[in-house]
Amino acid sequence: MYSYIKNTIRIVGDFTLFNLSVLLSSRKVYCVEIVKQLFLIGYYSVPIVAFSAVFMGAMLALHTYSGLDLFQSQTMVAQVLAKSITREIGPVVVGIIVAGRVASTIAAEIGTMRVTEQVDLLKSLSINVHAYLVFPKIIAALISFPVLSIISALFGMLGGYLIGTYKFAFSEMLYISDTLTFVTYKDLMSGMTKSFFFGFITASVSCFNALRATHGAKGVGIAVTNSVVASFVLILLSNYLITLAIFHGK
């Protein structure tokens, strides 16, 4: 138990120093790499985010209607969906789905470079590895995740709208009006803030684990697994803490 706690503290310390090193390396920015990562992290994630969000919104509408039916409040489906999707479903769907895709990709890419000594080659050429490999990915994730969160929220509401209007025969205009009326600036900022942190967590954790990979293909596999699992856990933890701070803080 003692060794586990000691090892956890050491990893947290190493991760903190790693992020400080990345921040200091940001004096030199590789803009081309950032654009490449924006496509890899953001653009190519749009289809899976939109597809998943539609069915998530539709499923949530079905469950919400069933729950509200117990209290004869079925007409509140649009309002409940608007709040839950902008606050939680949108950013969390993006966080989990994109983290699974991006964390594994980043960890596999950099981990392979690490075990095949390509990272050492970059260092021998006086190229700052953190500035060239890590910083562009973090910046791209910080930009992409909030945008993907908005897309997820819109498609999630679309899924709820289709169920509400076609299955439960709600008025189309009334459903849209209720959705727009009950979504507040605080709800939107909550989702954006969460996505921002989720993006940072996914990119930084993946790069950190990948650069520690050793022992060939097995080490890369371990780095990928650790990156995905750690990203999921930290996303859920940060989601709780941000919700607590924004909506239940004194």
Q: pLDDT digits over 187-229, tens only?
A: 888 899 999 999 999 999 999 999 988 878 888 999 999 999 9
Residue 249 pLDDT: 63
Question: What residues does each domain of the chain span?
Answer: 1-248
Residue 125 pLDDT: 87
- The residue type found at 110 is I
**What are 114-136's pLDDT values in tens digits?**
998 898 888 888 888 998 999 99
Q: Are the CB atoms for 186 and 246 separated by under 8 Å? A: yes
In our burial notation (b when 16+ CB lie closer than 10 A, e otherwise), range 149-177 reads bbbbbbbbbebbbebbbeeeebeeeebbe
Residue 149 pLDDT: 92
Q: What is the pTM of this model?
A: 0.91
Q: Are the CB atoms for 232 and 187 separated by under 8 Å? A: no
Q: Are the CB atoms for 19 and 130 separated by under 8 Å? A: no
